[in-house]
Copies of this chain bind each other. A is one copy, B any other.
């Protein structure tokens, strides 16, 4: 083509989504919410049905030289369950589309489905269909999930209010560090095939990367405690990127404190000592932790203030242009999204 050519890498994933969204109108009355949150929201009487999809492609999202197929199947389900959780919903069904190159055997497909079934069992999700086809090149897994939630309990990215408390579950940065360890190991192995994998000290991080979990436990606990977050998103692209989504969608600013960001001690040590990278940067921009980031009204704080796995990292204010990280030294730094741009320049 001799026409204008713009590179996707310049636009980025979010720019591309905005471009697609700009041309879309919703016509059916059951289409309550379309593009722009963790899942679409479909009307179904007193309940809303949530619909989301995620595609994992070989060589971009996973490297089969160190990713067991069972784990990959498990993770492919988890990333969708996490999107349903982020809308405050319960996942109920998935359909799985597989593109398989002919280097995959029936036994390999069995292993992949073993992981898919394990995740389905763990999260009470039913595998109800899919499409299995061949692919001219690598493995592609695309899963779509349906979830359900009372129509008044749907939690969007857009509901954060001034003075809300910013909460994050679990700990961050582990999945990214796990990936760095796996990649380092792979490079060492390629240089010296007799090398034995050295993963003993890194099991936690490697597990976070290869077999993450979705925080449905937190969704159920919040429901039991009678807490509905005002805004919520799952942390797939890194804390910074997700904070900015809530800020933008809610029209508010967010201030978080560096010393409140939950980082596991093993993650911290491995980042700082073993890999010589800043652990906080990993938490902010690493991604793939699949923890939940949410905001609550201050009146709900008492109910969860002693929760072992929910961390209060900051609060919401009214200046949407001011999203700040307050460092340990008290210095305010603007939060910037690096996220994870998988549309790399060639």
Q: How far is it, in angstroms, between the C-alpha of A11 and the C-alpha of B40 when the chains are bound?
A: 36
- Per the 8 Å Cβ criterion, residues 1-50 of A in contact with B are 1, 3-9, 11, 13, 16-17, 19-20, 23-28, 30-31, 33-35, 39-40, 42, 44-45, 47, 49
Q: How far is it, in angstroms, between the C-alpha of A282 and the C-alpha of B30 when the chains are bound?
A: 40
Contact status B133-A55, CB under 8 Å: yes
Identical copies of this chain, number = 2
Pick the contact of A133 from B3, B128, B342 — CB < 8 Å?
A: B342
Known: A45-B45, A53-B129, A129-B40. A60 touches B136 (CB 8 A): yes
Contact status B8-A130, CB under 8 Å: no
Q: Is A137 an interface position by the 8 A CB rule?
A: yes
Q: How far is it, in angstroms, between the C-alpha of A52 and the C-alpha of B129 when the chains are bound?
A: 7
Q: How far is it, in angstroms, between the C-alpha of A131 and the C-alpha of B35 when the chains are bound?
A: 10
Q: Is A166 an interface position by the 8 A CB rule?
A: no
| Closest chain B CB from A68 CB (angstroms) | 12
Q: Is A334 an interface position by the 8 A CB rule?
A: no
Binary contact track A86-116/B, C-beta < 8 Å → 1, others 0 = 0000001101111110101111011001000
Interface-lining segment among A142-150, A211-219, A222-230, A261-269: A142-150
Contact status A20-B53, CB under 8 Å: no
| Closest chain B CB from A124 CB (angstroms) | 6
Contact status A136-B135, CB under 8 Å: no
Contact status A26-B113, CB under 8 Å: no
Q: How far is it, in angstroms, between the C-alpha of A45 and the C-alpha of B44 when the chains are bound?
A: 8
Pick the contact of A40 from B28, B95, B107 — CB < 8 Å?
A: B95
Contact status A24-B97, CB under 8 Å: no
Known: A8-B109, A55-B131, A127-B34. A97 touches B49 (CB 8 A): no
A-B pairs with lowest CB-CB distance, top 3: A59-B136, A137-B137, A144-B144
